[in-house]
Amino acid sequence: MIPIGTNLPRRANQGGLYNQDIFWYILRIMAQLGSAEPQYSIGMTYDDRVPEPYLLQRNHTGTAYVTWFLRKGHVSVRSQDRIIRASTGDWVIIDPLTTRSHDFSPDAKLLSIRFRVDWQGIPFIPPLREPRVYDGSASKALLEASEKLIEDQQSSKLKSSPSKHSDACKRKAALFEWLSHWHRLREESENIPLSKTDARIFAILRAIGGPASIAPLDYAQLSSEVGLSKAQLIRIFKANLGLTPQQWREAQCLKSAEDDILQRKLSVKEIAARLGFYDASHFTKWFRNKTGSSPRKWREQQTV
């Protein structure tokens, strides 16, 4: 609700068109009043030696945050032209949509937690960051919370009877306890100030909307709906999310494909058709280009 007495911007409508100044003003007010909290979902958790087939992987990506704690050994991670190295006792955090290669030592043992974020349609919390190594000695609380989270996740998988509501709440509490330490590690180590996201981003996301699809984005139609030129759309997206609208659309398509592959309810042919690919071969080639693996192999790799 707009506070009583607020002076709205005034501009005469031409040809009966909706006053876009008022439209964007309302969005700014909504953003100032507060935005929805990010929605978190836990993915694969693991605490053991790195299986031999996964010691070395090239040019793969995904839509989950990846968090590793090196219990033993070392790893190097390449992203673009940057290489980071971590050894026993270090944390490594990799943001979604990061194309990277990694190389673990043969004796590597790690704790691994993957989770996803949905923040008003955005699969990450801006800004996206490059892979980074964090000193484990300064984050003992995160390690304890990680071990508890993995223990809760593993115990729930072993139960044959339906989960009680109290158990579900306990697992959710463990996740948010872990997330609080995870965010604190990033905030204290990187000292990145909080930035306000341009309210127009959410209007653009709603306009794009619809089911996930690989089809090219219709910039002409999008521009007409939100009253911004193609150049403005791309500039606003890049400034706030680090992606173009088309790249965001492809990210949503990848996220939907990952969900379908993990759920095992649809065949590759059915997934391809649902997402707008020409055929299963077209989808598989695209998915391998994004993740570095075929759909079947990618699903197997989610244990690490």
Q: Where are the domains positioned within the chain?
A: 39-190, 200-301
**Does the structure show a pLDDT above 70 at 140?**
yes
**Does the structure show a pLDDT above 90 at 180?**
yes
| Whole-number pLDDT of residue 158 | 60
Tell me which DSSP letter residue 11 carries: -
What pTM did the predictor assign?
0.80
pLDDT digits (tens, 9 = 90+) for 67-115: 999 999 999 999 988 999 999 999 999 999 999 999 999 999 999 999 9
pLDDT digits (tens, 9 = 90+) for 115-128: 999 887 788 888 88
- Cα–Cα distance between 112 and 94 in angstroms, integer? 11
Span 259-288, mean pLDDT? 94
**One-letter identity of residue 90:** D
Cα-based distances in Å from 49 to 46, 108, 146, 171 = 9, 6, 16, 25
**Judging by DSSP bridges, how do beta strands 100-104 and 74-79 pair with one another?**
antiparallel
Tell which residue, 131, 57, 97, has the closest CA to residue 253.
97
Three-state SS for 25? helix
- Cα–Cα distance between 125 and 102 in angstroms, integer? 23
**Does the structure show a pLDDT above 80 at 62?**
yes
- Cα–Cα distance between 161 and 30 in angstroms, integer? 44
**Does the structure show a pLDDT above 90 at 30?**
no
| pLDDT band of 11, cuts 50, 70, 90 | very low
Tell which residue, 179, 231, 233, has the closest CA to residue 204.
233
- Cα–Cα distance between 206 and 226 in angstroms, integer? 10
Report the C-alpha dihedral over residues 235, 240, 244, 245, rounded to 10 degrees: -100
Share of the chain above pLDDT 90, in %: 51
Q: Which fold has domain 39-190?
A: Jelly Rolls (2.60.120)
The pair of structure tokens assigned to 193 is 């100030």
Span 192-210, mean pLDDT? 78
Look up the CATH superfamily of 200-301: Homeodomain-like (1.10.10.60)
- Centre a 10 Å sphere on the Cβ of residue 197 and count the other Cβ atoms it contains: 19
| Whole-number pLDDT of residue 13 | 44
Phi, psi of 170, deg, nearest 5: -65, -40
For the chain, the distance separating the N- and C-terminal CA atoms, rounded to the nearest angstrom, is 47
| pLDDT band of 10, cuts 50, 70, 90 | very low
Per the DSSP assignment, residues forming a β-bridge with 72 are 109
- Residues 278 and 215: beta-carbon distance below 8 Å: no
Per the DSSP assignment, residues forming a β-bridge with 219 are none
| Whole-number pLDDT of residue 34 | 43
Least confident of 113-117, 163-167, 168-172: 163-167
SS3 content of the chain, % helix, strand, coil (to 5): 45, 20, 35
Per the DSSP assignment, residues forming a β-bridge with 77 are 84, 102
**Higher local confidence (pLDDT), 221 or 32:** 221
- Residues 201 and 30: beta-carbon distance below 8 Å: no
**Does the structure show a pLDDT above 60 at 21?**
no
Span 148-155, mean pLDDT? 88
| pLDDT band of 161, cuts 50, 70, 90 | low
Tell me which DSSP letter residue 64 carries: S
